[in-house]
Chain A
């Protein structure tokens, strides 16, 4: 009995019954795999929301920052009976889980202001934009709060891989590069095997299996060649697709020559989707990435003070006092007090705020540089990538400074306009975009993108560009840990320092991911609750 055949009815039996059934039918190794997928055997990072029972009456926690980390803490601590207050620098919640829509205005550091010109329903997620299925904590909150999800295609076999210095700058289809690379490598290995080149490395028995595997994996013919035929066209696509009737005879496509493929460097782009973080299934919230934190913020809206710029964090035996100014209303400096403080302010900002924490925590906060990253959203008059090129969602990769183009993953086939992600570089390219005025960044991205999609020139309407080092409330994209820094500082960053503890993506092993922020928050409030209730 195959596991998948009994899964649909699993809802009507207990997990234990199900496991025992699998165990009986298929032996213990299948049982172990099934147990792992149900979250029993292997340790899961997320074991459900924390159970914080027995909170002392009147115990209070002041939370700094209303992004994922701060909101999850406010929501869970509030449910547990703690008195909770949240201070947020911005005028709204969400932090880096941020969505820019038509009509929004964004002013970056230096005073450069952009008015987003997208039509209704179109948006850019300047920060996180996809959620893999195994980001269980974020998925839990999506499900609990009723956030609607759409599939996010990391890989689109019909999207492009492109190099300005290969194939005369003409973009190639992902499926051609993938099938041909695998096929040629398989053929090479088969040739080696037949000439005795694997002797001494692999036993004769294993060589037989390996040759069979290469034939299968690479779509090699009876002579172990990767050639133009039905099998290879079934991988890389046809020159003329099979059809019906008299006109239906297919024409097989011709593989790219191996040396040309190797020299093109395009093979660099075919592995991305096999990374754990990018494996199917991935999701995006319908309508924009801020849907998650917005749903959480709705649950704790009476607890959040917006436009609050923290200027000092002071703790003593009596509690924590945070000094802040109202950036909109101005006026006198204000204070907020609580027994404890959970600070989710990015280390880039926190390192500049006066605070009395231990030297070890201070050093940890000061040790974390923040990375450059850049995104641009471009609105076009029509969805030419779908209409002209049959690219529905997914990502094209390029070695141009824009690094990639990602197509909208909703409203397929719409006759109206479309907004795509026109760039997402890190590193030197991202610094160079950050150093430009916003309109110049957009212009450059249109120029670069037109090398892949010439339709850009005719169809472009407007764009918005976000360079993370110019974002006033983060001064960078995310905390950049190295193994050495983590060894020296990470545990110190995670400690309960007197009455203060930290959370956020920078306090996790999942930097830059929403999941890191949520898991760090759950870890922090669980430890804080233990500390409080142990007294």
Chain B
């Protein structure tokens, strides 16, 4: 694990390891955060959003603008069809990396969270089944 943190050349290997079913031992964390070096351990949508998505899409889903931009998730009509955000999380797009190593349930939880927060009112639940189908036909 330590070697990969240093070598760009090894990152691809590390990422493919991360894409496998979790082999790393789940460790107790010193805090409620940072449970595992290879994957995100949270299961609920809000925790997943706070640990991953808000790094780019920001705490209120407002997005950000620099030399390039991170799109806002707040009040975003593109989230109405759940398949779209599911696809983005599973496959990534352009500079956004894939988070395909999240479980189907984790993807469903975080997509469900953004569709029902930040001014988005798409209450229809997102299921792990839908995520599974997205993985099969990207």
Contacts and interface: CB of A to CB of B under 8 A. Distances in A.
B54 A435 contact: yes
Contact of B51 (A348, A435, A444, A472): A435
A383 B19 CA distance: 40
B8 A476 contact: no
Contacts of A478: 8
B68 interface: yes
Contacts of B68: 348-349, 351-353, 475
Interface stretch (B29-37, B109-117, B126-134): B29-37
Given A268-B1, A271-B3, A482 B12 contact: yes
Interface in B46-73: 50-56, 58-59, 64-70
Contacts of B50: 435
Given A164-B30, A352-B68, A369 B5 contact: no
B55 A401 contact: no
Contacts of A110: 58-59, 64
A404 B51 CA distance: 21
A275 interface: yes
By secondary structure, the A interface counts as: loop
A127 to B, nearest CB: 12
A243 interface: no
Contacts of B5: 403-404, 424-427
Contacts of B51: 431-432, 435
B55 A371 contact: no
Contacts of B16: 482
| Contact-residue size bin, chain B (C-beta under 8 Å from the other chain) | 35 or more
Contacts of A269: 2-3
Nearest to A395: B6
A447 interface: yes
B77 interface: no
Contacts of A426: 4-5, 11, 14
Interface string A332-356: 0000000000000101110111000
B96 interface: yes
A441 B95 CA distance: 24
Contacts of B137: none
Contacts of B7: 275, 277-278
Contacts of B11: 371, 426, 480, 511
A405 B108 CA distance: 36
Contacts of B9: 277, 510-511
A309 interface: yes
Contacts of A349: 67-68, 95
B40 interface: yes
B1 A369 contact: no
A271 B30 CA distance: 27
Contacts of B2: 268-269, 272, 397, 399, 403-404
A480 B15 contact: yes
Interface string A461-480: 00000010111111110101
29 contacts: A109-B65, A275-B3, A277-B9, A278-B6, A345-B67, A348-B94, A351-B68, A352-B69, A369-B94, A370-B97, A399-B27, A401-B34, A403-B5, A404-B2, A426-B5, A427-B18, A428-B36, A428-B37, A431-B40, A435-B50, A435-B51, A444-B33, A470-B56, A471-B66, A475-B70, A478-B8, A482-B12, A482-B16, A513-B8
